[in-house]
Amino acid sequence: MTAILGISAFYHDSAAALLVDGEVVAAAQEERFTRKKHDYEFPTQAIEYCLGHAGLTPADLDYVGFYDKPLLKFERLLETYLAYAPVGFRSFLKAMPLWLKQKLHLPKEIRKGLKNQYSRRVVFTEHHESHAASAFYPSPFDEAAILTIDGVGEWTTISYGVGRGNKVELTHELRFPHSLGLLYSAFTYFCGFRVNSGEYKLMGLAPYGEPRYADLIREHLIDVKEDGSFRLDMSYFNYCQGLTMTNNKFHRLFGGPPRTMEGPLTEREMDVAASVQKVTEEVMLKMAAHVREETGLNQLCLAGGVALNCVGNGRVLREGPFDEIWIQPAAGDAGGALGVTSFIWHQLLDNPRTATGVDNQNGSLLGPAFTDQQIQEFLDQQGAVYETHSDWDALDQRVAQLLSEEKVVGWMQDRMEFGPRALGARSILGDARSRKMQSVMNLKIKFRESFRPFAPAVLEESASEFFEMEDGQASPYMLLVAPVRNEKRVDRDTQENASTGLDKLKEIRSEVPAITHVDYSARVQTVDPQRAPRFHGVLTKFYKLTGCPMVINTSFNVRGEPIVCTPEDAYRCFMATNMDVLVMEHCVLLKDQQPNAQEHQIDSYLSQFNLD
Ligand SMILES: [Fe+2]
């Protein structure tokens, strides 16, 4: 047996992954255990979980891999600081203590984290090699082009190459400070969202605006070549020398200082978001075209933080030159932990790889699961009132009925997802047909910004009926945005008083208003019985009952909270919010039957999480 542990840590989204004889047996992000969103500390608990799941101790490991090369990254930081000295001195001082304390002594830190029970070598792969490996090795393809688009690793911000059989080879790269990820993050910052987590919000905001600033961005900030490579004009940015992303020159260009966090969202932010989204999509499309031409391959694998831009991904798939695309669900740095394990197994140890036409990610259900017995013991301790259903059929029927009555259902089943999206294992579900569901879920359940759209989880066989997707096309990891088909749309001309700004979201745009964004797009998750058997079961029952093959699927958490992991996390979140129903394995809890339901205060619950 060969056991390989992969670790990503000390930047954001620490994670661990375990590969045994070439199979991914477990992977999880540290934030789910520590309950600190985007936790970047050494992933002690994630490692403990992965090893425990396989019944291993650190001494049983054959290899431990780390997802980037700290010395190279250090070199980049030093050179950048020197180039901008003395202006860069402030961020230098801020970053150095962590580097001197932990990052330059990583092998020691890693051994300490493994309780000094691991004495073999620690393998360091390059950041983009880890992303590329995470994109190609679990993919369904024997041969594919690989494109990684990121903020920055050591020096590389974008790379491409080819995966063939058991080898990946990255042949081209773009280097820091020219970065599509950092450009997007700069606008995320400018629009008052948090860098490294608010990018998703910026993408969600974009459809409210018009891309009025796209020309300005193209003229001043980014010079895009025909092959998709580009240079940024660094005189507008501050991320090399300071603690912010943008500077006054940038602010003057876009009509004033950045929006303050939690300040009002104006037309400017919406238009700025629409503009940078548009430019990002243009670059992605150009790069995809170039990579297709250079490699001559029809399949593409994507990873890196920008590969979470599912609007851009959808366009690359629909308008780009590739027949098929596979995107690593944990496309951000957490996925690097997974990438480094398969890099060691295939690339370094030269173990063969057989592509089966189905991906190797197991629906990304790679985290902890809990038994009915564990759940019931916990619920009994809490004095909770619950039903138990003897079989899945009965449970799914019950839940489908509750959903059809516009109940909001916390749904915790099976192993927790690896990656930022909830895919029906730790999800909050609602009726996609409901007119009120969007605002109820945003404001009374998740306590998040009212402009944010919700995603549909749709039976795979029905996806093309509702969305502009080809028959049989899958999006099992919620990484593609597709337009709602014309025939499912409601003609807005018949509605009075077309709304503007954030009110646009309240308008009914389709038969499934709760998941239709203001530009008629939807962030589709297709659900199939192989990858997501439990979720497929309940969706099928809902379809039979209502004729609607989809539900709203949003992550099981409140704003700023990591997605729930354990029955305890799920119960706490359920009790603190206005969620109506909690389902954990075979157990169903109704809020109005809970004796303690009134005692819980949402304010104190929310106050333990930082706004994201
Ligand atoms: Fe990365």
Q: How many angstroms does the Cα of residue 246 sit away from the middle of ligand 1?
A: 21
Percent of the chain with pLDDT over 70: 94
Question: How many angstroms separate the CA atoms of 540 and 310, rounded?
Answer: 26
Q: How many angstroms does the Cα of residue 196 sit away from the middle of ligand 1?
A: 11
Long-range contacts of 88-96 (CB under 8 A, 24+ apart): 88/240, 88/241, 88/242, 90/241, 90/242, 90/243, 91/241, 91/242, 91/243, 94/243
pLDDT band for 91, please (50, 70, 90 cuts): low
pLDDT at 581: 98
Q: How many angstroms does the Cα of residue 392 sit away from the middle of ligand 1?
A: 39
Q: How many angstroms does the Cα of residue 531 sit away from the middle of ligand 1?
A: 26
With 60 as the cut, is the pLDDT of residue 423 above it?
yes
pLDDT at 152: 87
Tell how strand 581-584 and strand 550-555 pair up: unpaired
Q: How many angstroms does the Cα of residue 149 sit away from the middle of ligand 1?
A: 8
Return the minimum-mean-pLDDT range out of 85-89, 128-132, 221-225, 604-608: 85-89
Q: How many angstroms does the Cα of residue 155 sit away from the middle of ligand 1?
A: 11
Q: How many angstroms does the Cα of residue 181 sit away from the middle of ligand 1?
A: 9
Q: How many angstroms does the Cα of residue 77 sit away from the middle of ligand 1?
A: 16
Q: How many angstroms does the Cα of residue 336 sit away from the middle of ligand 1?
A: 7
Summarised one tens digit per residue, pLDDT across range 384-413 is: 999 999 999 999 999 999 999 999 999 999
Q: How many angstroms does the Cα of residue 347 sit away from the middle of ligand 1?
A: 20
Burial 571-584 (b: 16+ CB within 10 A, else e): bbbbbbbebbbbbb
Q: How many angstroms does the Cα of residue 360 sit away from the middle of ligand 1?
A: 21
pLDDT at 419: 97
Cα 312–Cα 474–Cα 557 angle in degrees, nearest 5: 70
Q: How many angstroms does the Cα of residue 375 sit away from the middle of ligand 1?
A: 36
pLDDT band for 506, please (50, 70, 90 cuts): confident
Distances (CA, A) of 606 to 136, 326, 559, 573: 39, 36, 8, 10
The helix (run of H) or strand (run of E) holding residue 129 is: helix 127-136
Q: How many angstroms does the Cα of residue 125 sit away from the middle of ligand 1?
A: 12
Q: How many angstroms does the Cα of residue 583 sit away from the middle of ligand 1?
A: 35
Summarised one tens digit per residue, pLDDT across range 216-235 is: 999 999 999 999 999 999 99
Q: How many angstroms does the Cα of residue 500 sit away from the middle of ligand 1?
A: 37
With 80 as the cut, is the pLDDT of residue 493 above it?
no
pLDDT at 439: 87
Residue in the structure block whose two tokens are 């089966």: 356
With 70 as the cut, is the pLDDT of residue 442 above it?
yes
Distances (CA, A) of 382 to 385, 508, 567, 572, 594: 9, 41, 11, 10, 10
pLDDT at 212: 97
Q: How many angstroms does the Cα of residue 7 sit away from the middle of ligand 1?
A: 13
With 90 as the cut, is the pLDDT of residue 517 above it?
yes
Average pLDDT value for residue range 355-368: 94
DSSP state of 390: S
Return the minimum-mean-pLDDT range out of 16-20, 71-75, 216-220: 71-75
Q: How many angstroms does the Cα of residue 604 sit away from the middle of ligand 1?
A: 34
Neighbouring C-beta atoms of residue 153, cutoff 10 Å:
27
Q: How many angstroms does the Cα of residue 140 sit away from the middle of ligand 1?
A: 22
Q: How many angstroms does the Cα of residue 253 sit away from the middle of ligand 1?
A: 29
Average pLDDT, the chain: 92
Average pLDDT value for residue range 147-161: 92
Tell how strand 550-555 and strand 455-459 pair up: antiparallel
Summarised one tens digit per residue, pLDDT across range 254-271 is: 999 999 998 999 999 999
Q: How many angstroms does the Cα of residue 153 sit away from the middle of ligand 1?
A: 6
Tell which residue, 417, 360, 369, 315, has the closest CA to residue 52.
369
Q: How many angstroms does the Cα of residue 135 sit away from the middle of ligand 1?
A: 12
Q: How many angstroms does the Cα of residue 275 sit away from the middle of ligand 1?
A: 24
Q: Which of 66-80, 319-333, 485-499 has the highest mean pLDDT?
A: 319-333
Q: How many angstroms does the Cα of residue 444 sit away from the middle of ligand 1?
A: 34
Q: How many angstroms does the Cα of residue 133 sit away from the middle of ligand 1?
A: 12
Q: How many angstroms does the Cα of residue 101 sit away from the middle of ligand 1?
A: 22
Tell which residue, 481, 554, 465, has the closest CA to residue 519.
481
Q: How many angstroms does the Cα of residue 19 sit away from the middle of ligand 1?
A: 20
Question: How many angstroms separate the CA atoms of 441 and 610, rounded?
Answer: 20
Cα 319–Cα 424–Cα 382 angle in degrees, nearest 5: 155
Q: How many angstroms does the Cα of residue 386 sit away from the middle of ligand 1?
A: 43
Check: CB of residue 313 under 8 Å from CB of residue 480: yes
Q: How many angstroms does the Cα of residue 150 sit away from the middle of ligand 1?
A: 5
Q: How many angstroms does the Cα of residue 577 sit away from the middle of ligand 1?
A: 34
Summarised one tens digit per residue, pLDDT across range 275-301 is: 999 999 999 999 999 999 999 999 999
Summarised one tens digit per residue, pLDDT across range 446-492 is: 888 888 889 999 999 999 999 999 888 899 999 999 999 999 998 76
pLDDT band for 87, please (50, 70, 90 cuts): low
Q: CB within 5 A of ion ligand 1: which residues?
A: 150, 333
Percent of the chain with pLDDT over 90: 80
Q: Which tokens go with 367?
A: 């985290």
pLDDT band for 105, please (50, 70, 90 cuts): confident
Q: How many angstroms does the Cα of residue 327 sit away from the middle of ligand 1?
A: 14
The set of residues, in sequence order, having a beta carbon less than 8 Å from that of 80 and lying 6+ positions away, is 88, 176, 177, 240, 241
Q: How many angstroms does the Cα of residue 412 sit away from the middle of ligand 1?
A: 29
Q: How many angstroms does the Cα of residue 304 sit away from the middle of ligand 1?
A: 5
With 80 as the cut, is the pLDDT of residue 574 above it?
yes
Q: Output the 3-class SS for 53-95.
A: HHCCCHHHCCEEEECCCHHHHHHHHHHHHHHHCCCCHHHHHHH
Summarised one tens digit per residue, pLDDT across range 198-222 is: 999 999 999 999 999 999 999 999 9
